[in-house]
Structures are given as structure tokens and as C-alpha cells.
Amino acid sequence: MNWENKKVWVIGASSGIGQSLAIAINHLGGFVVLSSRSSSSLEDTQRQLRFPEKSGVIALDLTDEKSIAQANAQYEAQFQQIDVLIHSGGISQRSLALETTLASTELILKSNFLGQIPITQYAAKKMIEQRNGKIVVVTSFTGKWGFFLRSSYAASKHALHGYYDSLRMEIENAGVQIHLVTPGFIATDISKNALDGQGKATGEMDNNQQQGISASLCAQQILQGIDKEKTEFGVGGKELKALWIHQYFPSLFQKILRKQSAR
């Protein structure tokens, strides 16, 4: 894919996979619009860009309907065209299902799923008018199966697969492509920022996460998958074998899964 001068809206661009994708796409000549809750963190991302003049910033809180509406309006006023929408924002979980409050679950669902919908609707309608566009959604292995301490997080990621698989069928003939990306272990702060049962960040780094591939390498794998026009694909290290085992040997997979460390 030729990213030169493509307008790319990256949700979750202040850190991790989203930040690395924004940096990589801008390096290839793309104009990136950076969004997350923290304006100062977005400005930090902007300073790391090869072409900072080919970028913009829109502060956005995925748990706040008013903030989302304002972000859509700001994008329309400042940038109009949208060639690629990347959803990489969200939050994880480290708590037992029976000890997780409804408020914590609602926060996870808003951050990871519900908050995306108005942005996706806005972008998809513009892409249909253009007869061209891509929507890239970063989900998780837990979008394919549940795991210890991830009940609400897994629910939010499963929801993404159901929603975007359905949307793809509805709009693919209008020239809009949807790519679902399922990362394995990526060395980001996602586990540190994960919520406990009361909705507070745990501040703890998982060993699996720490041993994962870098966010920059993950971004390169994602761009390769987009180049190959894959509708759904995994990114990560040796743990990608789990996707194959899950598909072809489900009973064996369940036995293996139960022996894995929750952290």
C-alpha cells in the first residue's frame, strides 16, 4: 500500500501499538491524525514523527459520548478526507469475573467496543462516499477465546469480531476494507494499565507481556498484513501457533490453555 499523503486517523496513538503504527505510517509519508485522552501524550508522539508537519491532534475519550461527538466534528472541520481509520485504543483487565464490578465491566466495554462505534460510523460513511477506505481494528487473542482474569476484556474483544465481521459484509461492495488484527504478546504497558475488579489500574507488568515482541515490530507486522489485504490476521511471536491449534485442534487447545499462567 502506498501511504504517501494518505489521511490516517489513529485512535490510541499516545502509546503502545497505536503510537508505533502512527510513527511507522508517518515515516512512509502518511498524514496521521493522533487521538487518545491525553493531549500531552499525543504531542509527545508527534515529536517522534519523521514528518511532524504531516500530523494533527484530536483529544478523545472513548468512554464519553460528548467527547466522541466533538472529535468527529473536529476531524470533519480540520481534515475532511479519511483514507484509513485505525482503532488501537482500549484497556485490559486483571480480575476474577465474580469479583469484577459492573462499573468496571462497563468501563472496559466503553473503552474497547462501544466507544468505537460512532467513530466507525462517521468514518465508514465518508469512505463509502469516497468509494475507498480501510478500517483497521486491533483486537486480541482474547477476541478468539476467553482466559483467566480477562472475562470482561474478552467479552469486549469478542464483540469487536462480531461487529466488524458483520459490518464488512454490509459495506465491502462499496470499496471499504476491514482488517481485524489479533495481537499475541506485545511488550507494551497494557498489563500495567489493566483494571482490577474495582476499576483501578493494577500497575503490574505481566511476564508474558514483558517477553513479547516490541510494539514497533508489531506495527511492521500489521502494515504487512494490510499490504496483503488480509481480512483477519495474528501478529506476535511464537505464540501465533496458538491460533492454528485453536482452529484445528480445539480440544487440545483447551487443555494447553488451562496450563498457561494468567500473568
Could you list the active site residues?
Answer: 153
C-alpha cell at 99: 469479583
Name the residue among 68, 72, 104, 91 with its Cα closest to residue 138: 91
Taking CA atoms, 233 is separated from 108, 109, 178, 223, in Å, by 23, 23, 11, 11
